[in-house]
Each structure stands twice: as C-alpha cells, then as structure tokens.
Amino acid sequence: MRWPRSCVAKRNAASGRSAPKKGSRAAGKPARGKPAAPPRRRGRVVAVMLSLLAVLLLVLGLIWAFAPRENGSFDPPPVADLPENLDSWLYAEESGIRPDVARRIVWGGRPGVKTPIALIYLHGFSATSQELRPVPDLIAAWRGANLYFARLTGHGMDGGSLDNARVDDWARDVAEAIAIGQRLGEKVVVIGTSTGGTLAALAARDPELGPAIDAVVLVSPNFAMQARGLFLLRQPLARHWLPLIAGRERCFEPRNDAHRDYWTSCYPPTAALSMAAMVAEARRADYSTATQPLLALFSDADRIVDPKATEAVLQGWGGQVTRVSVTLGPGDDPDSHVIAGDILSPGQTAPLATRINGWITQIFGE
C-alpha cells in the first residue's frame, strides 16, 4: 500500500525525521567518486583525439611521400684530362692509402705502352681490390694485358670514411677508371664483383661511358640484397633516425686474417644507405642500351645478394649474355658470394680465371 506524499511528510515530521534528500545514500545513489562527465563532453574529447591522430597520420604520410630519400642516381661527371705519367699521378693521389689496396696499374709489358686488351677491376662494397685476387692478375698475365685496380671512395680505410662516401663519388671513380682503361688498352674489359658489378652494369648502359667499354664481366653482381630490415635503408630521412634503431655500428666476423685486413668489417649502418639506394636504382634500370657482350658468373646459393634479381637484369641486357653457375666446395665462401679469390674461395680461383679468360678469347679472338 502506498501512502500519499503528504501523509509521509506528516509522519516523518511527527517522528522527527526529515525526508531523504536527492543524491543522498537514502535516495539510493552512491556518494563516492567524481561525477561522470556528461556524454556530450566525452564526445568532444574523443573527437579532438581522433582529429589529432588524423593530423599526425597525415603529416607522417606527407613525410613518407615527399621527404628526401638517399640519392641513388648513377650520374658520372666528365673526367678531366689525365696526366701523361699515370703511375706518378696515382701514387700522389693515393698518398696515405695502403699500397696493396690503392688505385694502381699493373703493366702487362713496358710501362706506358698500350696492350690490345686492358682489364679494369671494380671491387664490392666494404671490400678492396684484394677481394677476388689473384683472378684478375692471372687473366692479365695470361694475356699480357694491362690491368687497373680501382678503389671506390671510402674503401680501404675505416668505417667513418665509408660512411662519408656517396653514389656520386663512386660514379666519378668508375668514369675515371674507364678513362684510364682507354689509356691502357685498345679494348676495355670491365670486371666487377658484387656492388662493383652493379657499377659496371650501370656504366655499360650509360650513354657516355658505355661506348668506351668493349665487354663486361659480372661476378656475383648486386641487384638486390638478402638481409632483414633492408627496407629501412630506403625510407625518408633514414640517415637521421637509422642509428637510433640499428645502433652506431654494424660489424661482421671476418673468416680469416686476410678477410679482416682487406675488408671494412665495422662501419655505421648509415654507410650502407648510398649502396642500397644505388642498387634500387640499378634494379629498375633499362639495360637494353647495354650492347656489350656480358659474362655473368654467380651462385644460385648466394646468401648475400639475390640471384633472381641478377637473372632479371640479364634478361633485359641488350648484348650477348653468357651465364655461368658456380658451385662452391669445401673451404670456399660459405655464403657463396665471393666465389673466387684466395682469401675466401681459393678452390675456385683457377677455374674462374680460366673461364673468364676463355670467354674473352671467344669474344675478341685474341
């Protein structure tokens, strides 16, 4: 039975009790804690947060789309006239560099005299001219050919020097090497290993350098690397934030003393940015204008670069292509990348040198 409110009030007044106030415990509502925000206010807070998130995502998207990435364009500059005495000039230019990794000429006969064929050797990233030796030396000796060992900027030094090198520097190095090659031989054969192979391929398709190259030999050329996290190297402004993620230094464990002596085994991760940018450009390049005969030697088991990317480049090459698949044996490079040379793959040195020399004979008949 319900009592009318007036009756309840009179009873409470008679007993000295007052009616429960609104918001009190007696009214059946909790008194603890802060009152919940009104629904309208909560909605405004959520809307502001979503707007800020949208702006942040937009800014990040614009940075990703338009912020500068590392330059990978191969654009060799004109080479200044070379001096008459190349040996003296190179010796002065390479002052402070170890003689066994410096730019240098190995004359096949009397110094200063051209030979029918000249060989140019371009080494790979973080390596030196010792990388594949004595393969180039053997070929040059068998043919009585002049041989030029290039040194890519930043190499044969410390990790900081490697970090300071850019693609423009390497393009200049290659242009200079080819100009020297023209002084050394009637015909010029460029041999490039790994990233040196990338540079050789780019030079072959270059409208200025290509006509000065008569044949190309690529040994384990680098058109795509196989490693985790490589996508980071192609992101905007990576030179600024990459050390925060990858650390200040990247190192690999040398396999022997000579490997330690002739490779830069520790360098900042940013040192690889220029190489990665150039490789990305090289992978997308059109090689139909590269009409030189090409010999490509590599292993399908290569764990450093992707052989499939090499195959794609070979398919688009404008000249005659000869492929040689190399299988390494015990005592050779376990990564199947440096596929000859007494430092990492001694068992393949003589076979590879013989194969390259035979191919040169087939091409030039000399």
Residue 119 lies in a domain: yes
Residue 33 has pLDDT above 60, yes or no: no
Closest-CA residue to 307 (of 200, 220, 197) = 220
Within a domain: 26? no
pLDDT band at 27 (very low <50, low <70, confident <90, very high): very low
User: Cα(45)–Cα(230) distance, rounded to whole angstroms?
Assistant: 40
Which residues are CB-contacts of 183 (< 8 A; sequence separation ≥ 6)? 82, 86, 114
Provide the token pair at 96.
């402070």
Angle between helices 272-284 and 195-205 (to 10 degrees): 40
By three-state DSSP, how is residue 173 classified?
Answer: helix
Q: What is the pLDDT of residue 25?
A: 45
Could you give the 3-state DSSP secondary structure of residue 116?
strand
Q: Is residue 241 part of a domain?
A: yes
Structural domain boundaries enclosing 186: 87-364
Whether the pLDDT of residue 170 is over 90: the answer is: yes
3-state secondary structure of 329: coil
Using one digit for the tens of pLDDT, what is the confidence trace for 124-162?
A: 999 999 999 999 999 999 999 999 999 999 999 999 999
Domain CATH for 245: 3.40.50.1820
Domain count, the chain: 1
**Tens digits of per-residue pLDDT, 271-285?**
999 999 999 999 999
Residue 76 inside a domain? The answer is no
Packing angle of the helix pair 272-284, 167-184 (nearest 10 deg):
70
Is 27 within the bounds of a domain?
Answer: no
Residue 365 has pLDDT above 50, yes or no: yes
Q: Is residue 51 part of a domain?
A: no
Distances (CA, A) of 187 to 90, 119, 299: 22, 9, 28
Q: Which of 26-35, 183-192, 354-363 has the lowest mean pLDDT?
A: 26-35
Pairing of β 250-251 and β 146-149:
unpaired
pLDDT of residue 32: 56
Condensed to tens digits (0 to 9), the pLDDT of residues 65-96 reads 656 668 889 999 999 999 999 999 999 999 99
Residue 190 amino acid letter: V
- Residue 323 is assigned to a structural domain of this protein: yes
Q: In Å, how far are 227, 262, 269 from 200, measured between CA atoms?
A: 23, 21, 24
Q: Give how far Cα 356 sits from Cα of 25, 215, 294, 359, Å.
A: 96, 11, 11, 5
Question: Beta strands 266-267 and 250-251: pairing type?
Answer: antiparallel
Task: Check residue 46 and give its pLDDT.
Answer: 75
Q: What is the pLDDT of residue 66?
A: 59
Residue-wise pLDDT tens digits, 237-250: 777 778 888 888 98
Asked if residue 236 belongs to a domain, the reply is yes
Instruction: Evaluate if residue 200 carries a pLDDT over 90.
Output: yes
